Structure 1
């Protein structure tokens, strides 16, 4: 049974959906144009703990903030929720743009984070322009299943007319500058066929993390946690249970 509520902090509101139980806490942060519903299959496979999936401000069912949030302000909002509603540090999992948010949560608010998982992390510094990112995303989506395409299209429509401004907020953030400040274990997870988060970038990102490791999911692209999330969930559970 899921419990859904709203949380407001510093002029912005997110929607949090909680389900499951257990000592381990997983926190799911979606990517650009998405919402918490894209994690439905991943949630089902993270059965060894409680799962919280967010709609970030201006996505899914969360209202648009007065101004589009930076990645840093989004991380502060997520951390404020965790301090208010979660006992103990959590496994913070971010997909795509959500990986940038997860990085900032770990760097800015280490007390609320046990470890982080970066799924298909953006933004590769060699492609930090809107045309390059969109081209990579469109090529990746073209290889996905109709279910993934339909679900993604619905969420992009819900993200509203300010999506362009949100995209620029994502591009302005420089994850490579944040990596050395992440003091918790980090798993970089990519689909083997991911065109948005290429292997060279994921390797460089992993090597720059003080305690990073890299894993790939065969036969998957950028949306590896949407379509058949079982392999990704298995890697996440193994990582979350490691010493």
Structure 2
């Protein structure tokens, strides 16, 4: 993805003392915004960006304290991350756009869609957390370790280095807020089309949880990618990109 990376435009948007790093790729008519999960950065979207940027304008957001974005003095809950992200997108002039979240990013994107429906055209939730049956930080850590055994080395390396960059303090300050969030109670209020995607070998997001979310948001499309782990957009980028296109065409 060297050529795409070389053409990336980076901007840091400061909102009420919080910094959001936005990297933009491609120059297509359709806008896509990608939001990472806890501890991660925009790096694990690289294969998906490579495909999407051929026809779309793709923006990866790195939320306060994660990736290259500086850590603020005060922690944020899911609604807080959402408010900062929405204000950053408005300030950067990005929108309307398809919003795509991964893992914790799904919780944030859902809150964003509730807060700023004028900025979003469709929502895609990749590997949405947190499974209601395992809403516990220790269990989530065990599931993450289990998933690491199913991810390719490149993903594990990216996540390890991203976690170290974020630091244990910021990670541990964010985790309880992630665990307390009730996605199944919030997703029903999203007005735009919703697509839910999980990997068939994702131990963090079981099939029953995806179906529960689909039931909580009538009309939502639920899709399973056979044989894929939690970071399914890295291991199956072509199918993921196709699903994003389908979601956009149905808006």
1:122 counterpart residue number: 129
Q: From the two aligned structures, give the one with the greater helix fraction.
A: 2
1:23 equivalent to 2:26? Answer no
- CA 1:30/1:87 → structure 2, altered by over 3 Å: closer, same or farther? closer
Q: 2: distance between equivalents of 1:111 and 1:98?
A: 19
**1:211 to partner: Cα distance:** 3.2
1:42-121 → structure 2 map (5 Å cutoff): 42-46=48-52, 47-86=54-93, 88-121=95-128
> Aligned Cα RMSD in Å?
1.2
Show structure 1 runs of 5+ residues with no match: none
- Give the number of aligned pairs: 243
C-alpha contact 1:191 1:222 (8 A) present in aligned 2: yes
C-alpha contact 1:116 1:184 (8 A) present in aligned 2: yes
1:227 counterpart residue number: 235
Which shows bigger deviation, 27-36 or 165-174?
Answer: 165-174
After superposition, give the CA deviation of every residue in 1:25-84 in whole Å (9 maximum; x if it has no partner): 000000011001111111011132100001110011100011111110110111112222
Give 3-state SS (helix, strand or coil) of 1:226's partner.
helix
Show structure 2 runs of 5+ residues with no match: 1-6
**TM-score of the superposed pair, with normalisation by structure 2:** 0.93
1:35 counterpart residue number: 41
After superposition, give the CA deviation of every residue in 1:7-34 in whole Å (9 maximum; x if it has no partner): 1112211100001012210000000110
Q: 2: distance between equivalents of 1:119 and 1:135?
A: 20
Picking from 155, 160, 164, the partner of 2:162 is 155
Picking from 193, 201, 209, the partner of 2:201 is 193
1:158-197 → structure 2 map (5 Å cutoff): 158-162=165-169, 163-197=171-205
1:134 equivalent to 2:141? Answer yes
1:242 equivalent to 2:214? Answer no
